[in-house]
């Protein structure tokens, strides 16, 4: 495990800088463990950073239960963005409810409808957005930086937990009594939509349960991609 107090201090400074210099800013929470760490830090410090989540319509009940846990623990309601019903209906009618199993293209189109388009609405009008991504999560995130320029949305993107390990995340959660998704205790280190997420076996990569039928290099939903590719542009921190 890393020097957790130092990591926490650096993350608190990053969040404070976002609130001071990049307002209005929002935090895109998937309600996973990493995002609960950031939720705790943002709400405890009463930072003016909005928190939203993408309710895709196919999330696990345990994930939806986290919304109630946040409300009870912090007296705070996370804002939800949902896909356009017409787009979902058209996809299902033309391709079938679970067409995302058929090809990477079909899966990415489902992600576009259920996640990418709602994300665009959630980010509109903001100067910066925050994610819970970590560098150690997967090969597709190995070059992750704390601060990046998001060319797709023409705004600054922050990944304050980029340097954190999974052990750091759980040490913080346990030390601070942070509520979290019950699926994490059932072998789900990374959690997405219910039909696209499975528990992993001991020794597997933490994101092995996400779109497990695909090549590891394709395992991104599109929220952090431009023209099908992950774009990493490092910014110089102020």
Rounded to whole angstroms, how far apart are CA atoms 225 and 76?
30
Q: Are 12 and 42 in contact (CB under 8 A)?
A: no
Residue with tokens 């970590």: 134
- Those residues whose C-beta lies under 8 Å from the C-beta of residue 2, and which sit 6 or more positions away, are 163, 164, 165, 167, 168
Q: Exactly one of 110, 111, 193, 221 is catalytic; which is it?
A: 221
Is 221 one of the annotated active-site residues of the chain? Answer: yes
- The 8-class DSSP code of residue 204 comes to S
Angle, CA 115 vertex, CA 118 and CA 218 arms, to 5° = 145
Catalytic residues: 221
């Amino acid at each position: 495990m890393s020097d957790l107090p130092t990591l926490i201090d650096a993350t608190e400074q990053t969040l404070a800088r976002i609130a001071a210099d990049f307002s209005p800013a929002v935090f895109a929470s998937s309600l996973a463990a990493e995002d609960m760490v950031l939720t705790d830090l943002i709400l405890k410090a009463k930072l003016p950073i909005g928190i939203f989540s993408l309710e895709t319509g196919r999330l696990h009940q345990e994930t939806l239960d986290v919304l109630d846990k946040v409300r009870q623990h912090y007296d705070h309601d996370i804002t939800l963005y949902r896909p356009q019903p017409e787009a979902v209906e058209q996809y299902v009618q033309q391709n079938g409810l679970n067409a995302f199993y058929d090809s990477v293209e079909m899966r990415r189109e489902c992600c576009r409808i259920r996640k990418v388009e709602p994300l665009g609405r959630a980010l509109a009008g903001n100067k910066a957005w925050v994610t819970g991504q970590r560098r150690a999560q997967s090969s597709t995130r190995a070059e992750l930086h704390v601060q990046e320029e998001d060319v797709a949305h023409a705004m600054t993107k922050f990944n304050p937990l980029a340097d954190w390990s999974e052990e750091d995340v759980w040490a913080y959660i346990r030390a601070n009594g942070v509520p979290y998704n019950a699926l994490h205790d059932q072998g789900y280190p990374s959690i997405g939509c219910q039909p696209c997420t499975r528990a992993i076996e001991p020794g597997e990569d933490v994101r092995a349960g996400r779109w497990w039928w695909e090549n590891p290099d394709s395992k991104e939903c599109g929220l952090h991609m431009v023209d099908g590719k992950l774009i990493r542009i490092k910014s110089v921190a102020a």
